[in-house]
């Protein structure tokens, strides 16, 4: 019991270091917590798997992508052993693994992994929840990165509808989907629609983050770029 308590406290301390940007100390605490949890529980326990995910996330932030993937893969295998493939923990770690693939330059594999994560999530926890919203945003971004614009648009529009349904009070996430849809429209040459989406995203960011936020300024820059493109088209 004492070792379990110490491991939990060490894990919490590592999380606090991480939030303060002190990644070396966070990683040291995370690894220590992982060792303690293994000593108490062996290799088939939720706390061990959670600690692996935490250490993997810190390694990812430090740019140690191979090490991060190894931790995520071990955690995934542990979650599957504990709960089976159809579990939200499996879905979450698949999303983390997709991020590593992108960072490793293996992004072509990421959309399929993100789609699998989303499918598991919707089957296990439903559609109207924040984890699914985040998954839709990640999947839309991944599709867009690989030029799969129609697929990206479907996911962005689905996510926008979901976030508006579960957060009628308006949130930053709505702005991110508006931005994503605008960018797809821009890539498709639909300048008027892109401008409209960017302007709506600008209003959303101003409302949720404040008029001087970086996100609102970025939307102003994107809208201005579209206006310049429209002027060039009109001049030809």
Cβ contact 204:189 at 8 Å: no
Interatomic CA distance for residues 151 and 160, integer angstroms? 14
Q: Quick one: tokens of 122?
A: 């919707």
The 10s digit of each residue's pLDDT in 47-106 is 999 999 999 999 999 999 999 999 999 999 999 999 999 999 999 999 999 999 988 888
Residue 233 pLDDT > 70: no
The 10s digit of each residue's pLDDT in 103-119 is 888 888 999 999 999 99
Q: What is the pLDDT of residue 92?
A: 95
84 in the Ramachandran plot: left (φ > 0), alpha (ψ -120 to 50) or beta? left
The 10s digit of each residue's pLDDT in 8-37 is 999 999 999 999 999 999 999 999 999 999
Interatomic CA distance for residues 130 and 136, integer angstroms? 10
Q: What is the pLDDT of residue 28?
A: 95
Confidence (pTM):
0.85
Interatomic CA distance for residues 147 and 139, integer angstroms? 12
Interatomic CA distance for residues 61 and 17, integer angstroms? 13
Closest to 75 (Cα-Cα) out of 46, 99, 106? 46
Q: What is the pLDDT of residue 107?
A: 81
Q: Quick one: tokens of 133?
A: 């919203």
Residue 232 pLDDT > 80: no
The dihedral built from the CA positions of residue 174, 180, 184 and 186, taken in this order, carries a sign that is positive
Q: What is the pLDDT of residue 136?
A: 96
Provide CB contacts within 8 A for 37, sequence distance 6+: 4, 7, 11, 45, 47, 48, 51
The 10s digit of each residue's pLDDT in 151-203 is 999 999 999 999 999 999 889 999 999 999 999 999 999 999 999 999 999 99
236: confidence class by pLDDT, cuts 50, 70, 90: very low
How large is the average pLDDT for residues 126-136?
94
């Amino acid at each position: 019991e004492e070792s379990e308590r110490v491991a939990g406290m060490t894990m919490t301390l590592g999380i606090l270091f991480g939030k303060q940007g002190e990644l070396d100390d966070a990683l040291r605490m995370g690894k220590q917590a992982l060792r303690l949890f293994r000593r108490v529980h062996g290799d088939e326990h939720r706390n061990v798997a959670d600690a692996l995910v935490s250490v993997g996330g810190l390694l990812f932030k430090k740019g140690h992508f191979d090490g991060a993937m190894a931790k995520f893969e071990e955690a995934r295998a542990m979650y599957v052993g504990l709960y089976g493939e159809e579990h939200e923990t499996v879905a979450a770690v698949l999303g983390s693994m997709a991020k590593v693939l992108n960072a490793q330059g293996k992004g072509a594999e990421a959309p399929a992994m993100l789609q699998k994560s989303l499918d598991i999530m919707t089957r296990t926890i439903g559609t109207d929840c924040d984890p699914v919203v985040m998954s839709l945003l990640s999947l839309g971004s991944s599709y867009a990165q690989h030029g799969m614009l129609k697929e990206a648009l479907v996911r962005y529009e689905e996510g926008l509808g979901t976030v508006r349904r579960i957060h009628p009070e308006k949130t930053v996430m709505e702005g991110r989907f508006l931005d994503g849809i605008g960018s797809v429209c821009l890539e498709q040459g639909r300048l008027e629609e892109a401008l409209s989406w960017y302007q709506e995203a600008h209003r959303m960011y101003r409302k949720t983050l404040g008029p001087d936020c970086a996100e609102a300024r970025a939307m102003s820059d994107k809208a201005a770029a579209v206006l310049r493109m429209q002027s060039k088209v009109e001049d030809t």
